[in-house]
Chains A and B, each alone.
Chain A
Amino acid sequence: MLQGFLQLVIALLILLAVAPFLGNYMARVFMGQRTLLDPVARPLERLLFASGGFSNQSSMTGGQYVRAILVSNLVMGILVFAIFMFQGVLPLNPTGLSAPSWDLALHTAISFVTNTNQQHYSGETTFTYFSQVGALGYLMFTSAATGLAVAIAFIRGLTGRPLGNFYVDLTLSITRILLPLSIVGAIALLIAGVPETFAGPAVAQTLEGATQYIARGPVAHFEIIKELGENGGGFFGINSAHPYENPNNFVNLVTNLYMLIIPAGLILTYGIMAGRPRQGWLIFGMVFIFYAVMVGITAVGEFQGNPIVNGILGSPAPNLEGKEVRFGWALTALWAVSTTGTMCGAVNGMHDSLMPAGGFTTLSDLFLQIIWGGQGTGTAYLFVFLILTVFLTGLMVGRTPEFFSRKIEKREIVLASIILLAHPIAILIPGAITLAFPETLAGISNPGFHGISQVIYEYASAAANNGSGFEGLGDATLWWNLSASFSLLVGRYIPIIALVYLADSMAHKQPVPETAGTLHTDTFLFTGVTAGTILILGALTFLPVLVLGPVAEGFLLARGF
């Protein structure tokens, strides 16, 4: 037990140590300040801009920015869909795979272009190396960079600066942040034993004399951007539980931290870019506490194990079902909360097998979307919550609400409301429809409360652009592919569009000078109020499904039948 909790504390401490450096570095990158990578990155960027015929790098208006996002994402999505459909005739196909069904290809393309990587397939048996590296691996960089670019445009707007140029920020996100960190990380993984090859499956003779085909491929580089970019789409079906994706505790620790560092650092980047580092640290602290509590709840739940099983065993034992024994209950709990919190979606154990406490925390992570949150978008949502909190409670200081010295008025509230609305629409409505036809649509493997969790989790994962699955769900069907695609698109683009317009609207406001009568948002009190607002709004929206899913299941187990 002590060892398990020690592992958790060490991981959290490393995160605390690394985040400020990265936060500071990202702020320097996006504020155009000098960084160590300038000599290497600048020529590369010049080459990219020149080869793309990309001369106009001036700041965009809200409308131009939104158009740039949508057009670039659409083009990438179509390209990737085409690659899937023609993968049978494209190179790097040692196992001779043919095209998947159109709906699976569509869902996968949407899933990866939205930075979700929800997978209704097993990579090793569905996609060729070309599809994995050229299509999926490519989107892993661009979709993560899209999120980062939006986040940076958002903070620029909030602080009254021009939004910037989408293509420039997209490029900088890749050349300055994602690519360098991936190269370093991938080399570390290679050294630690993760394979990287275009050769076909290894063939082995088992002791019984059977022939075994062991899937492998260019895993190491794929693996690291999978975590760093909050993508989560595994090279293999069982993701980071696979020994080639996650061979040992060192790789497990590195990849787990890689999920967290950008969303965690970005909160501090926001503070620096807004000229209010204290604000950044307070929000960072709030999220860190949320995160630690979630990890704690999950870990305790797994450590205590299943009371029914324990009753049969006659002694308490941690719940190890659906886990890699080499990682154990503690590191699986840490990973589960990290991957759902950051919208990464990679898994090193099956969430379907988590105790109800873990079902509760992982679902809550997906509902709240800010316990670090997705690449870029999570930090932006945090600041949307700050804005909503200012609006709801700020009147109590006797002034009309303002955030970062800018008045929050109808337009901003409409846009923030759209962000607030998109999530329940994308989760609850398809969830309710699916559960209305449990026999034909749902594909539930564990009926009862757990079945509700399975269905809601799938849509929550899609809408939050997480991508992990509760698993156990027969989700490779036309209904699941299409309905999840709906949640993916609504959960990704509606909030992003609203974020850009919100930033644009704030940027054009006349700032109001700060006085003693101004509500300061960078205080412990206000951060506490924000935490309360996030929890209340989140709880109010998703409590019924949480009660019907993991909570009821928890009570069921506690009663012992």
Chain B
Amino acid sequence: MTHTTQSPITHPPGGPRENRRHTPKVNTSGLYQRAFGQAFAKLDPRVMVKNPVMFVVWVGTIITAILTVNPFIFGPVQDEGPRLFNGLVTLILFFTLVFANFAEAVAEGRGKAQADALRSTKSETTARRLRPNGSVEEVSSTQLHRGDRIKVIAGDVIPVDGEVVEGIASVDESAITGESAPVLKEPGSDVASSVTGGTRILSDELTIHVTADPGKGFLDRMIALVEGAERTKTPNEIALTVLLAVLTLVFLIVVATIPTPASYINSPVSITILVALLVALIPTTIGGLLSAIGIAGMDRVAQFNVVATSGRAVEACGDINTLVLDKTGTITLGNRLAEEFIPLNGHSMQDVAAIALAASVFDTTPEGKSIVRLAEKQGAKLDFERDRAEAVEFSARTRMSGTDLPSGEEVRKGAVDAIRGFVRSRGGQAPAELEAAFTRVSELGGTPLAVCRNEDIYGVIYLKDIIKPGIHERFAQLRRMGVRTVMLTGDNRITASVIAKEAGVDDFVAEATPEDKIQVIQAEQAKGKLVAMTGDGTNDAPALAQANVGVAMNSGTQAAKEAANMVDLDSDPTKLIDLVTIGKQLLITRGALTTFSIANDIAKYFAIIPAMFAAAGIGALNVMGLNSPQSAVLSALIYNALIIPALIPLALRGVKFRPLTANQLLQRNMLIFGLGGVIAPFIAIKVIDLIVGGVGLA
């Protein structure tokens, strides 16, 4: 595994969401006006027919509109002045449609505003394309294809996604990530070699190998996504739409079979009232808000600065059973810091500090720098010419790094057993105390690094790992929600178990290699579980692809981003936990409004049925004591229409999620949306009826 983060994470993982929410200069002014206009444009039957519930309302509106113009078109009518009543019903139905469209338009509008903000960073530019012979030609950025090579110099906007093949330069990625500090880009390195279209190169120049065809770049995908252009219904949404359509069909049958029995008992029912009953019964509330809920869910993910490739991925977040988390950067702060030197083999503290300094002088990682700092604090100084020494890079195979001194001596630091092997290869012997020091540091949850000069082990560096504040509570929450956490770390077993215990993860894999990651995921999936993970390196790509939800860090490689179904622009692996919450919130909102919508029907029945069969002598069923049959029908319909805009904020914001067990959640939400859905409309319809009566409409 690669080092996970480039910049230290400054916010606690349990902190308020708003702190982490990053919205790239979204212009929401005029959003509602535009949405209102859209709401009317969406009345086009070709659009309406995609939503079977609302399409029935649409047809009903047309029928009542015809009846307003000519109340007698379908035959004689008993009431003397049905024109006003029919007109009012038509008007209410019309607004029911507009409100439902408005909900969707607002949700889409927010995405569009975000897309516009992104698009503003992506203007068509001229790119310098390198011909095979090395000469440069100027082409439009839209003509660049996968496999082309381009040159960018300081001040340019990088036109497309690509891989750095030559040069070192600093790049401002704030347009994408919101992170203002420039990032160093250079070839070869896993993380630092990928560049994103729309970012700006600040210094020097780079040769870039283009990795995306026109319109297929990262930014393009992101824009398409937040705009909802590629929005397809998720499996659960499809199933719910089917059920809502069937309920609509049931009610259509119910309403269509009323006239003959009603006529049989000489209590004929007007077509307007039949249409009114039908619209009141079919689940217009959830039918009108369903797509808005889905879009808003994607939007919430985007507000978290995460790009999901599909709504399906967001929905899957709610179903996650297991989170596979890298220790570094997710559970602990990215950087381990040198805390203490433990001398061994009879060496003094000064000697250890000096050797540690010598071994770390070329180490630019935060760990290496912290060793240098600690050594200098203890008074250690370099006793050789830096320029004449040679750096020995860290590699995953050797698991150590160090310096070859001008004197020909080799100083090394690294994992304890790696150093033990090194010393043995140089004819030395590890001291007995090494094991004790190793255990001591491990039991503190730290990482022990041994330092040696040639065959002589000088001591152990205690690298302290700092567990992110608040992470323990987050894992406890996840556990209550039934989500298991598995920590993966390259640390030894003892260190890993100490950290796992302190952080409160359910399981851990110590001394893990990237291959272990995919094995852990497959093992969990074999048990039927859905697994989410984060990753950034090319060697994480298979695991990201295997996971049900794979979140790639934006700082990661192109391969990782391609394999993942979400990309976190802030490169904050802790976000995975928030994504689970967002996924659950989306599902809860959908379920809550479905339940509410169906529970509402009871009150609407009690308003309309007594009004409908007023001649049958069932006045006692008018439990709400509504004014008149006409007022009862109008009140039920007005309620039915107004509840949609009233619930738009909830649909867009989502039902507040609480980390409770499934049964507690059901109890809570059933009480609010189930029982509330039964009772609320009784009160609301009564109030509306009083107003309708007061105004004198009916």
With both chains docked as a complex, state the minimum distance between the C-beta of B435 and any C-beta of chain A, in angstroms.
40
In the bound complex, residues from chain A placing their C-beta under 8 Å from that of B617 are 552, 555-556, 559
**Which residues of A in the span 251-284 have a Cβ within 8 Å of any Cβ on B?**
none
Known pairs A391-B239, A400-B236 / 18 extra A-B pairs, C-beta < 8 Å:
A388-B243, A392-B598, A393-B670, A396-B670, A397-B669, A399-B584, A408-B239, A409-B235, A409-B239, A420-B250, A421-B250, A428-B254, A428-B257, A431-B257, A516-B662, A519-B666, A545-B257, A548-B265
Report the nearest B residue to A544, measured CB to CB: B258
Contact mask for chain B residues 222-266; partner A; CB cutoff 8 A; 1 contact, 0 none: 000000000000011011101100100111011011111111110
Which residue of the partner chain, among A515, A542, A548, contacts B262 with CB atoms under 8 Å?
A548
Q: Is A28 an interface residue (CB 8 A)?
A: no
Complex A-B: 21 CB contacts under 8 Å: A392-B591, A395-B236, A395-B588, A398-B587, A398-B588, A400-B319, A410-B239, A413-B243, A417-B242, A417-B246, A449-B616, A452-B264, A455-B261, A512-B530, A515-B482, A515-B483, A517-B483, A519-B666, A525-B666, A536-B602, A544-B254
Q: Check B482–A548 contact: CB distance below 8 A.
A: no
Q: Check A536–B257 contact: CB distance below 8 A.
A: no
**Which residues of B in the span 442-497 have a Cβ within 8 Å of any Cβ on A?**
479-484
In the bound complex, residues from chain A placing their C-beta under 8 Å from that of B527 are 513
CA distance A433 to B529 in the complex (A): 52
With both chains docked as a complex, state the minimum distance between the C-beta of A365 and any C-beta of chain B, in angstroms.
19
8 nearest A-B pairs in the assembled complex, by CB-CB distance: A395-B591, A517-B482, A398-B584, A515-B482, A432-B257, A516-B482, A417-B246, A396-B591
In the bound complex, residues from chain A placing their C-beta under 8 Å from that of B321 are 512-513, 515, 517
With both chains docked as a complex, state the minimum distance between the C-beta of B353 and any C-beta of chain A, in angstroms.
50
With A393-B666, A429-B253 known as contacts, the answer to whether A516 contacts B605 (CB < 8 A) is no
Interface residue ranges, A against B (CB under 8 Å): 388, 391-401, 405, 408-410, 412-414, 417, 420-421, 424-425, 428-429, 431-433, 435-436, 438, 448-449, 451-452, 455-456, 510-513, 515-520, 523, 525-526, 529, 532, 536, 539-545, 547-548, 551-552, 555-556, 559
CA distance A552 to B610 in the complex (A): 10
In the bound complex, residues from chain B placing their C-beta under 8 Å from that of A452 are 261, 264-265
CA distance A398 to B314 in the complex (A): 12
In the bound complex, residues from chain A placing their C-beta under 8 Å from that of B528 are 405, 510-513
With both chains docked as a complex, state the minimum distance between the C-beta of B660 and any C-beta of chain A, in angstroms.
9
In the bound complex, residues from chain A placing their C-beta under 8 Å from that of B235 are 400, 409-410
In the bound complex, residues from chain B placing their C-beta under 8 Å from that of A433 are 260
Contact size range, B: 35 or more
With A424-B253, A428-B254 known as contacts, the answer to whether A397 contacts B665 (CB < 8 A) is yes
In the bound complex, residues from chain B placing their C-beta under 8 Å from that of A408 are 239
Q: Is B613 an interface residue (CB 8 A)?
A: yes
**Which residues of B in the span 522-576 have a Cβ within 8 Å of any Cβ on A?**
527-530
Q: Check A539–B670 contact: CB distance below 8 A.
A: no
CA distance A173 to B264 in the complex (A): 45
Q: Check B609–A400 contact: CB distance below 8 A.
A: no
In the bound complex, residues from chain B placing their C-beta under 8 Å from that of A547 are 609, 613, 616, 618, 621
With both chains docked as a complex, state the minimum distance between the C-beta of A155 and any C-beta of chain B, in angstroms.
20
Interface of B (DSSP majority class): helix
Q: Check A398–B257 contact: CB distance below 8 A.
A: no
Q: Check A399–B242 contact: CB distance below 8 A.
A: no
In the bound complex, residues from chain A placing their C-beta under 8 Å from that of B598 are 392, 536
With both chains docked as a complex, state the minimum distance between the C-beta of A402 and any C-beta of chain B, in angstroms.
9
Which residue of the partner chain, among B265, B482, B585, contacts A552 with CB atoms under 8 Å?
B265
With both chains docked as a complex, state the minimum distance between the C-beta of B66 and any C-beta of chain A, in angstroms.
23
In the bound complex, residues from chain B placing their C-beta under 8 Å from that of A417 are 242-243, 246
In the bound complex, residues from chain A placing their C-beta under 8 Å from that of B484 are 515
Contact mask for chain B residues 580-601; partner A; CB cutoff 8 A; 1 contact, 0 none: 0001110110111011001101
Interface residue ranges, B against A (CB under 8 Å): 235-236, 238-240, 242-243, 246, 249-251, 253-254, 256-265, 281, 315, 318-319, 321, 479-484, 527-530, 583-585, 587-588, 590-592, 594-595, 598-599, 601-602, 605, 609, 612-613, 616-618, 620-621, 657, 661-663, 665-667, 669-670, 673-674
In the bound complex, residues from chain B placing their C-beta under 8 Å from that of A539 are 602, 605
In the bound complex, residues from chain A placing their C-beta under 8 Å from that of B594 are 392-393, 395
In the bound complex, residues from chain A placing their C-beta under 8 Å from that of B620 are 555
With both chains docked as a complex, state the minimum distance between the C-beta of A369 and any C-beta of chain B, in angstroms.
15
With both chains docked as a complex, state the minimum distance between the C-beta of B251 and any C-beta of chain A, in angstroms.
7
In the bound complex, residues from chain B placing their C-beta under 8 Å from that of A525 are 663, 666-667, 670
Which residue of the partner chain, among B250, B481, B588, contacts A541 with CB atoms under 8 Å?
B250
In the bound complex, residues from chain B placing their C-beta under 8 Å from that of A551 are 618, 621
CA distance A395 to B665 in the complex (A): 10
CA distance A551 to B617 in the complex (A): 10
With A449-B616, A529-B674 known as contacts, the answer to whether A394 contacts B591 (CB < 8 A) is yes
In the bound complex, residues from chain B placing their C-beta under 8 Å from that of A455 are 261
CA distance A548 to B618 in the complex (A): 9
Q: Check B670–A543 contact: CB distance below 8 A.
A: no
CA distance A539 to B678 in the complex (A): 14
Report the nearest A residue to B483, measured CB to CB: A517
CA distance A397 to B669 in the complex (A): 8
In the bound complex, residues from chain B placing their C-beta under 8 Å from that of A428 are 253-254, 257
CA distance A545 to B663 in the complex (A): 37
